[in-house]
Homo-oligomer: A and B are copies of this chain.
Amino acid sequence: MSRTGIPAVVLGATGTVGQRLVCLLVAHPWFELVAVAASEKKAGRRYADACRWMLPGEPPARAADRRVDRLDPDAIACDRPAVAFSALPADIARGVEPRFAEAGYAVCSNASAFRGEPDVPLVIPEVNPDHLVLLERQRAGRGWSGFIVTNPNCSTTGIVLAAKALDEAFDLRRVSVTTLQAVSGAGYPGVPSLDVLGNVIPWIPGEEEKIERETRRLLGRVEDRGRIEADVAVSAQVNRIPVVDGHSFCLSLGFDTSPSPDAAADALRRFRGDATVRGLPSAPDRPVRVTAATDRPMSIIVGRIRPCPVLDLRMVGLVHNTLRGAAGGALLNAELLVAEGWIG
Contact = CB atoms under 8 A, between A and B. Distances in A.
A180 interface: yes
Interface string A107-147: 00000000000000000000000000000000000000000
Interface centre among A176, A197, A234, A310 (most CB of B within 10 A): A310
Contact of A250 (B178, B197, B243): B178
Interface stretch (A5-13, A39-47, A51-59, A271-279): A51-59
B252 A176 contact: yes
Interface in A54-70: 54, 56-58
A150 interface: no
A254 B203 CA distance: 22
A124 to B, nearest CB: 21
A188 B197 contact: no
Contacts of A189: 189, 192, 194-195
B197 A183 contact: yes
Nearest to A291: B58
A304 interface: yes
A316 to B, nearest CB: 4
A310 B183 contact: no
B212 A237 contact: no
A309 B178 CA distance: 13
Nearest to A307: B235
A250 B242 contact: no
Given A202-B316, A250-B202, A310 B235 contact: yes
Nearest to A191: B193
A230 to B, nearest CB: 12
Given A57-B293, A178-B178, A197-B242, A237 B314 contact: yes
A194 B239 contact: no
20 contacts: A56-B295, A57-B294, A58-B295, A176-B308, A176-B310, A178-B178, A183-B193, A183-B194, A183-B197, A188-B192, A189-B195, A190-B194, A191-B192, A192-B192, A199-B243, A200-B243, A202-B248, A202-B303, A203-B316, A233-B309
Q: Which 4 A-B pairs have the closest CB atoms?
A: A57-B295, A178-B178, A189-B192, A237-B250
Given A191-B192, A193-B197, 6 more contacts: A193-B195, A198-B198, A198-B243, A200-B243, A202-B304, A239-B250
